[in-house]
């Protein structure tokens, strides 16, 4: 049985990180997990035309750090808790990505939840500078949250920060994808969500071969459904033909999915290229949150 016991949510007080915090709260409550909310202090020493004693810079940094800690506490208190009491952590300045990954390792987190500033213009650079690097280097699954406007009422009338009604799970039938399937089925069960198991055929030269490939892929998808999964109507299968990232985005849009779950392969150069052309583009160009599960 999948267990998520520690969740890390880095925030920078922006709207995207507020959306990610809401997702992290909801998941922490569902899995009864410990939630760590992290903020990394950014400190760029001012340029002086005269000599500034080191003590002044230390005091300046401490002042900024104290102010950021107050902002973090205010950030947490200004959002509904969903019954979750998070642990607030202010990390010293430096490379933001390194600070996030360091806490993830030290705290042995099972999931990182973070926001992205979008996919276009300067927003694309914002994704590449933080979320992209965390996605590529993290040893645990990473959920990149896209803030949704609607809210949902959870069990016993608790107001949910996120709504998960429909999930799309993407598979190429590899071992990493099999591991990601465990997360997909678990999340769908926790939220009583409909889940679509999706496979994309990218290289099918003829129509006759396409028909055979579609039938074969459908049988393989149906074979992934565990006997104990519950009502079969809540688990659907879909096979599409075309570029993987385009078809994943189209499937998510067609089903009005709230979450896409997919595997990320290893860390060699080829894997990173594949990651960049599929998972990265789904996150950039899609409209719903993406859970990337490292193999």
Q: How many alpha carbons fall within 13 Å on the CB side of residue 195?
A: 29
**Token pair 């290289």: residue:** 203
Cα torsion 138, 140, 108, 29 to 10°: value is 130
Burial 144-164 (b: 16+ CB within 10 A, else e): bbbbbeeebebeeeeebbbbb
- CATH T-level fold of 6-145: Rossmann fold (3.40.50)
Task: State the Cα–Cα distance between residues 161 and 267, nearest whole angstrom.
Answer: 33
Which class is 164-294 in CATH?
A: alpha beta
> Which of 236, 199, 192 is CA-nearest to residue 217?
199
Is the fold of 6-145 the same as that of 164-294?
yes
pLDDT in tens, the chain (295 residues): 688 999 999 999 888 889 999 999 999 999 999 999 999 987 666 665 566 677 866 787 788 889 999 999 999 998 877 678 899 999 987 788 999 999 999 999 999 999 876 433 334 444 446 888 898 889 999 999 986 544 443 444 344 456 789 999 999 998 889 999 999 999 999 999 999 999 999 887 777 788 889 999 999 999 999 887 655 558 999 999 999 999 999 999 999 999 999 998 655 444 544 455 688 889 888 889 999 998 6
CA 267 – CA 127 distance, rounded (Å): 19
Give the DSSP letter string of 34-91: EEEEEEEPP--PPP-SS---HHHHHHHHHHHHHHHHHHHHHHHHTS--TT--PEEEEE
List the structure tokens of 10.
């880095």
Q: Domain ranges in the chain?
A: 6-145, 164-294
Closest C-alpha to 179, from 268, 267, 293: 293
């Amino acid at each position: 049985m999948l267990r998520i016991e520690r969740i890390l949510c880095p925030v920078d007080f922006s709207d995207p990180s507020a959306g990610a915090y809401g997702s992290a709260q909801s998941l922490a409550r569902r899995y009864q997990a410990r939630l760590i909310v992290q903020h990394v202090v950014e400190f760029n020493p001012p340029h002086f035309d005269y000599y500034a004693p080191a003590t002044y810079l230390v005091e300046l940094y401490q002042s900024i750090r104290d102010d950021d800690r107050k902002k973090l506490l205010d950030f947490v208190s200004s959002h509904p808790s969903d019954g979750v009491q998070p642990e607030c952590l202010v990390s010293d300045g430096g490379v933001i990505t390194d600070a996030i990954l360091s806490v993830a390792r030290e705290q042995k987190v099972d999931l990182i939840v973070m926001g992205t500033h979008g996919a276009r213009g300067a927003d694309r650079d914002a994704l590449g500078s933080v979320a992209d690097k965390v996605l590529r280097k993290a040893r645990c699954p990473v959920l990149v949250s896209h803030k949704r406007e609607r809210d949902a009422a959870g069990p016993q009338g608790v107001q949910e920060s996120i709504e998960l009604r429909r999930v799309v799970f993407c598979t190429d039938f590899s071992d990493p994808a099999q591991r990601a399937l465990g997360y997909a089925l678990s999340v769908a069960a926790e939220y009583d969500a409909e889940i679509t198991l999706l496979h994309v055929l990218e290289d099918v030269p003829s129509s006759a071969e396409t028909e055979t490939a579609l039938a074969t892929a459908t049988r393989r998808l149906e074979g992934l459904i565990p006997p104990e999964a519950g009502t079969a109507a809540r688990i659907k299968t879909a096979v599409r033909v075309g570029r993987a990232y385009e078809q994943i985005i189209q499937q998510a849009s067609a089903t009005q999915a709230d979450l896409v779950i997919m595997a990320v392969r290893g860390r060699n150069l080829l894997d990173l290229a594949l990651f960049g052309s599929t998972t990265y583009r789904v996150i950039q160009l899609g409209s719903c949150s993406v859970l990337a599960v490292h193999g």
